[in-house]
Structure 1
Amino acid sequence: MATFRKRGARWRVELFVQGQRRSATFATKREAQAWAAHEESRLRNAEPGAVPNLRFRELLERYLDTVTPTKRSLKRETNMIRQMCRTTLADTPLCELDPACFAQWRDERLKTVSAGTVIREMVLLSHACTIARKEWGWLNTNPMADVRRPASPQARTRRPTGEEIEALLFTMGYSPDRAPETAMARVGAAFLFACETAMRAGEICALQWDGVHERHVHLPLTKNGHPRDVPLSTQARRIIEQLRPVTGEHAHVFDLTSALLDALFRKARDRLAVDGPLQDIRSLHFHDTRREALTRLSKVFNVMELARISGHRDLRILQNVYYAPKVEDLADKLA
């Protein structure tokens, strides 16, 4: 069925027939109607199982319009797909898509980004091809199925050192003796809070006052889609009480967006890397606080209890990626 819309002086027609979507723009409605009638007839009489005469870009755009909005990773995935639509791979006709096309794209992509990024993009491309095959009838096979993915990079073991934590808090203007009234100071409070709780940056920014309890905080929605309760250390409770006179009238405890927290953290970190002796601090990510916190908490809790606190449903990820004790820490346990 065709839909016609007038946009300025031109007519746009959108057509959806047998799982295939087409659109075009014409100077007159008569031209749009003639094109729609011809295209609909062609699609309905197409040979069953034939791959539509589309380019891979149109597959990605439909996926972006219909599948991506259902995901919590909407913003990140939207940016990823838009970047893919600018590649030569996107210009490939669907009838010519094969594993070699994606292998060539993979090899070129590995020259500019990390293996981890390429793996995430390949997962997305494979899912888009699967949807196009199973639900839209645009592909007869998934050409990504036989494409080898790069070897997974080694898990990060980076943790902030005591010196780095102290320098960051000082640079951010955070002090345990006064309320963090500036946004930069609240980033310092969030950084220290993350080291105590193993909460992600997004979870900290989303934390609301009605989720704060005497000895724990409640997170109604987390990265894996499940709610979680996080116990609070004495230090974490002190930080929350320190924030109460500053942000108590706001809905969110830290009164920060994820974007602002990330920008201010990077600004403070990079300032230290330029002006001071902590050159290696440039490699520090805010998310490394999660590894630091879980390593600290492992001295008190076993791995099952750590998973309950961190929200990990796969213990292998918890043990291989986030639990990164130093050998000195293990030696201390023997002592």
Structure 2
Amino acid sequence: MSKRDGPGVTVATIMLGVVTLLAGGVAAGVVLAPDRVPQSVRSPEAVATAPVSSQAFDDMRRVKVTPQVAQDTPLSLAGSGRVTASSCVPGGVIESGSSPVTIDDRPVLALATSIPLWRDLAPGAEGDDVRALQAELARIGFPVRADGEYGDATKTAVARLFEEAGAAEPSDDLPAASVLWLPAPSVAVAECGAPLGTVAGDESFMTVAGGLSSLQLADSVRDGAPGARVVRYGELTAPVGEGGVVTDPTFLEEVQRGPELEAWQRSEGSEPVTLEYVLAEPLDVAVVPPGALFALSGSSGCVVGDGSPRPVTVVSSSLGQTLVTFDGAAPSVVDLTPQQGQSSCA
């Protein structure tokens, strides 16, 4: 048995440790050594982009309107004769184009013309009253053009109305005595004044309840998108006249049927009536993230679209989206990290 001269460490063990240390040093050198690949030959870093979508933008605002309600209106028959039939009932409704009364077995047509028909009309007649008649016939549904000339289309429409009213010999003439003028396309009857057997002209035929005659915009839109605007109620729209007044008969009739006007009347005006106020022609806008914009000045700005700087006009911004318009076609994508600090798109 031989004696050992030192601690129990063999030469092989010492050599293994040296090799391990050398290998670790090489590995660390590889990890910690700086990247010596030239910048010019590196692959370019990908730029973050976002897709551009499009939508129609009508810039809808809610505005308060003040209703103007007309007083109860008595309506008289233009001709004389005895009432031989009548559909007048208090609380009932008379529609333009119908025949609510018959005089001497002659149907009388109810018509809501913009000008009360004051003279007998026949083929060949011309004037504003003819144009008003044609406009109402067209509203009712007849293929009539409002050109102010009592032509074939007008004759056909008038004869058809008399036929639907039960006339024994429908005429294409329209005597003033055969017309009951209505102030609106649909009127509510408050009172009937000429029962069966009475002589027409001695008193009013009926009194119609005061209806909605106009709407006055109480609000103005100061920061909206530029462009002509209309008011909207449900699916209907109407132009806004000078001074912010809405007088479109069909639109007023629809509002009058709605719960908002009833609530306004019940509250004696304290409950406001509101309508949607929208662009008459919606804009086709592009939707981009707010971070894609740079060089903003007022409503003007820039984006990098499809790799190139593009000027834009900011229309609106909400819910993390910015609505813009481009001069020309919109790009498919915009950069999310454009160069900041620039004052122009150049």
TM class by smaller structure: under 0.3
| Higher relative contact order structure (alpha carbons within 8 Å, sequence separation ≥ 6) | 2
Higher strand share: 2
Higher helix share: 1
State TM-score, norm by structure 1: 0.23
Larger Rg: 2
